[in-house]
Each structure stands twice: as structure tokens, then as C-alpha cells.
Amino acid sequence: MSHSRQKPSTVKAQKFNAKLSVEYGSGEKQVADVLLDEDINLLQQMHDAGLPVRKACRNGGCGVCRCRLSSGQISYRQREPFALWEQDKADGIILPCIAFAVSDLELDQLSFDRRAKLSK
């Protein structure tokens, strides 16, 4: 009996553009453009891009990383955003720690770690 091994798929992950609007307490606004990979959660990609987005549980349970999806679509990939109320979801609030891009996105109301400085 012979067993043939199949090569792993070489299909590349789809890429999406994200426009992240950041507003600081001083009223100053900044927009960051990030190229997103469909196979990496949004929170990790924001950190990889140098954005000091707040994080804690990384499993959708605490809500510390919450932000608003102003356009586009995400998938939680069979995970549940337990830290969000139904009204939060209706208002477009998402949890980037368990969210994956499935289209180009625009996010705002990002929650930044106050101890970190955003490079400009």
C-alpha cells in the first residue's frame, strides 16, 4: 500500500487595505493605512504596523481592544465576541483581537495604550 503525500497548498492569503482613523484626547487626528492579511487577526496586524492598540485577553472576552468598523467586513471565524453587548454590535463595534479582514476596512475609535507613543 503506497501513501502519497500531498504538498501543502501554496495559495497566498488575500490582502486588504485598511484605513485606521486615530483621534487623540487633544483632538488631533491621524490616519494610518495598513495592508492586511486575511489570515492574521486585526489586533496583531495593528501591532505589527507599529500602532500601540490596547490589548489584554486576546480572545474576545475583555473588550479592551474594541474599536468601530465604519466600513468593510470582518469575520470572527466561529469565535464569539463575548465582551460586546448587542447594542455595541449594532453600533459597529468590533473586537480586533478575534477579527479577520474579509474586505477593505475603515476602523475608528481605536483604543491606544496611553503609555505608548505613536510614531508619526
CA dihedral 112, 113, 115, 118 (to 10 degrees): -40
Q: What is the pLDDT of residue 120?
A: 46
Using the predicted structure, report yes or no on whether residue 9 has a pLDDT greater than 60.
Answer: no
Residue 67 lies in a domain: yes
Instruction: Look up residue 48 and give its DSSP letter.
Output: H
pLDDT band at 27 (very low <50, low <70, confident <90, very high): low
pTM, rounded to two decimals = 0.78
**Domain CATH number, residue 31:** 3.10.20.30
Residue 118 lies in a domain: no
Domain of residue 21: give its range.
Answer: 15-108
Other CB atoms within 10 A of residue 30 CB: 12
Using the predicted structure, report yes or no on whether residue 117 has a pLDDT greater than 60.
Answer: no
Q: Which residue type sits at 79? A: R
Rounded CA-CA distance 54/107 in Å is: 15
Residue 113 lies in a domain: no
Q: How many domains does the chain have?
A: 1
Residue 19 lies in a domain: yes
Q: Tens digit of pLDDT for each residue in 94-116?
A: 999 999 999 998 888 887 766 65
Instruction: Look up residue 45 and give its DSSP letter.
Output: H
Residue 114 lies in a domain: no
Q: What is the pLDDT of residue 74?
A: 95
Q: What is the pLDDT of residue 22?
A: 64
Residue 91 lies in a domain: yes
Residue 117 lies in a domain: no
Residue 39 lies in a domain: yes
Using the predicted structure, report yes or no on whether residue 11 has a pLDDT greater than 80.
Answer: no
Compare 5 and 115 and report the one with higher pLDDT. 115
Q: Tens digit of pLDDT for each residue in 34-77?
A: 888 999 999 999 888 888 888 888 889 999 999 999 999 999 99
